[in-house]
Every structure is written in C-alpha cells, then in structure tokens.
Amino acid sequence: MTVRLYVWQRATAALMVPLVLGHIAVIFYATRQGLSAADILSRTHDSLAWAAFYGAFVAAACVHAGIGVRSVLAEWSPLTERGAGFAGVAFGLLLAALGFHAVVALVLT
C-alpha cells in the first residue's frame, strides 16, 4: 500500500468514527421512542442535515472499503497490483452508487 492510500484509509477511518457513533445513537433513540420506518422517513424528509450526515458517511465508507479491498486482493489473491486496484475502485464505486441511492431515498421520500 502506498503512503497516499494509507493516509486516505486512516483519514476515512477517523471520519467514520463519529459518524458510526452518531448512527448508533440515532438507532438507540429511534428504538427507544418506538419510531416506525414511516416516522423516521417523515423526520428525514427534505433534511439537508441528514443528507450531509449520511452522504459523508457513504463517501468515507466507499473510499475506506475500496482501499481495503484493493489491499486484501493485492496481498492475498493472484491479481496484479493493477488488477487489485481496478477491483478496489469498482467495489468502491458500487458502494457509492448503492449508498448515495439510499441517501437520496432517505431524504427525498
């Protein structure tokens, strides 16, 4: 792994720590309040704050996971560094597409 990828992966990990804790806090709050999915969606509808929160989460997770997949494939599979890099980018882009679709559904539904 290059120094640049190492720094990016550590930076996204550091960004995800408060986001994961915030997400878990929201889950605890929603379950303790007995909120249904409809209640949660009505609270997140048209909210730029929730879109920013989960958008940042998705962006950090995509970069972090893509680099991680690339590193694992480069070390443990017969793929070349270049092949592992392409697979990591493809995985990150797939996660981005799915994640941002979920963020749009969360905020715009």
Report yes or no: 30 and 63 within 8 Å, Cβ to Cβ.
Answer: no
What is each CA distance from 88 to 44, 72, 73, 94, 105, in whole angstroms?
Answer: 31, 9, 8, 10, 26
Q: Considering the entire predicted model, what is its pTM?
A: 0.88
User: What are the residues whose beta carbons fall under 8 Å from the beta carbon of 87, sequence distance 6 or more?
Assistant: 69, 70, 73, 79
Q: How confident is the model at residue 109 (pLDDT cuts 50, 70, 90)?
A: confident
- In the chain the domains, ranked by start, together with CATH numbers, are 3-108 (1.20.1300)
Rg (CA), the chain: 17
Q: 5, 104, 106: which is closest to 63 by C-alpha?
A: 5
Q: How confident is the model at residue 98 (pLDDT cuts 50, 70, 90)?
A: very high
At 41-74, the pLDDT tens digits run 888 899 999 999 999 999 999 999 999 999 999 9
